[in-house]
Structure 1
Amino acid sequence: MNITEQRGHVDFGPLPGVDAIVIGASAGGVEALIKIFSLLGAGFRLPIIAVLHLPDERRSRLAQVFQQRLPIPVKEADDKESIVAGTLYFAAPSYHLSVEKDFSLSLSLEDRVHYSRPSIDILFESAADAYGSRLAGILLTGANEDGARGLAAIKQHGGLSVIQDPNEAHVPIMPEAARTLRAPDLILPLSDIGQLLVELERTHA
């Protein structure tokens, strides 16, 4: 896709219509997510489902931290709950998070993927199966290759695949692995990824 920037506004060219956004990050991910979500306004209509690698022993406070900063509902994903538009979901520590065909969420204790549970690959691949071409996947900074295969699956299903520019990532291994495996549709700095979320919501039908 061709991207141009005029007077501080990024023109991404024609964007596909999407019904959901999935995001994965590891090392440096909290700061990256804070930056890209800072542009979200009240009434944002797309669901966002995020996996962020955290130490197993740490009880996650991600939902509370981001709820204090964002004007949209934020919660830790529960097993069997239906995905609600305009809500940001975080994967719970030590559980894989999947999207089912009926657009509900499920938690599982399957083996780790790239030493990680929750796994970005599992979220991305299951979401690609559920949403098909109506999905955007975004892979950010991280220190392993989790998410590369999942982002390739999103693109294979016709969805929009996006990585953070490895040159500005806190740790570039994760977005670089995705770029090597299958060229993403967009390679963007964090500031432009935030703008992309706004544009995807604006064009949502």
Structure 2
Amino acid sequence: MQKNIQYKGIVIGGSAGSFSLVSKILSQIKDDFKYPIILCMHRLKHIRSGLVEGLNLKSNLPVVEPYDKQKIEGGKVYLAPSNYHMFVEFDATVSLSAEDVLNHSRPSIDYTFSSAATSFRNKMVGILLTGANKDGAQGIFEVHTKQGYTIVQDPNTCDVDTMTKSALQLFSPNQVLTPEEIVVFLNNL
């Protein structure tokens, strides 16, 4: 872990199997967690509700689907809305877009990671979780190239390891962690 860094955000991406894992992580994060969590999960585009409500039942932090140009604040979880790409802007706001799908996905984890890496640079933590396609691998690699701190879930603990293994083929992250270790890492920030 990079010492003495005031992080601007924690960005988490996941797909197949990530809902239960994200629920577990959010339920175990300290309720005084001071950083914003920007969460991009693949989701069904025709179902617009339920995910936020489900996460809020478990989370120690409030989970919201941000509106376009919403300011990112510490101690909140910002979930990419269904069927929208979510970008992080230089002024620490969220930008939403209905651009074409990327890697068969909208929201695209690659877009969220890449924009956060450009905006936050070395003041972010990127965490890539379980998933069934390679979306997210290139994005977390960009976090790495911009000196952000990178964590990839241990593929041996993934429901589907395509996403994490794709990332590990591109680069060596700062850490490869189990879900339990990810929680410990976040609570020690």
Deviation per CA, 1:76-119: give whole Å up to 9, x if none: 12111000111001000100000011000010011111000000
For the residue of structure 1 that corresponds to 2:40, the secondary structure is strand
Unaligned runs of 5+ in 2: none
Is the 1:62–1:90 contact (alpha carbons within 8 Å) kept by the matching residues of 2? Answer: no
Runs of 4+ that moved beyond 4 A: 13-16
Paired position in structure 1 for 2:36: 47
Q: Which has the larger radius of gyration?
A: 1
Is the 1:35–1:191 contact (alpha carbons within 8 Å) kept by the matching residues of 2? Answer: no
For the residue of structure 2 that corresponds to 1:68, the secondary structure is helix
Paired position in structure 2 for 1:88: 77
Root mean square deviation, CA, Å: 1.2
**TM-score normalized by structure 1?**
0.88
Q: % of aligned pairs identical?
A: 39
In the alignment, the residues of structure 2 paired with residue 47 and residue 14 of structure 1 have an alpha-carbon distance, to the nearest angstrom, of: 18
Deviation at 1:71, TM superposition (A): 2.5
More off after superposition, 68-77 vs 177-186: 68-77
Unaligned runs of 5+ in 1: 1-12, 201-205
- Matched residue type, 2:66: A
Q: Is residue 2:176 matched to residue 1:187? A: yes
Deviation at 1:30, TM superposition (A): 0.4
Is the 1:16–1:160 contact (alpha carbons within 8 Å) kept by the matching residues of 2? Answer: no
- Matched residue type, 2:44: P
Is the 2:28–2:60 contact (alpha carbons within 8 Å) kept by the matching residues of 1? Answer: no
Paired position in structure 2 for 1:58: 47
In the alignment, the residues of structure 2 paired with residue 95 and residue 171 of structure 1 have an alpha-carbon distance, to the nearest angstrom, of: 23
Paired position in structure 1 for 2:159: 170
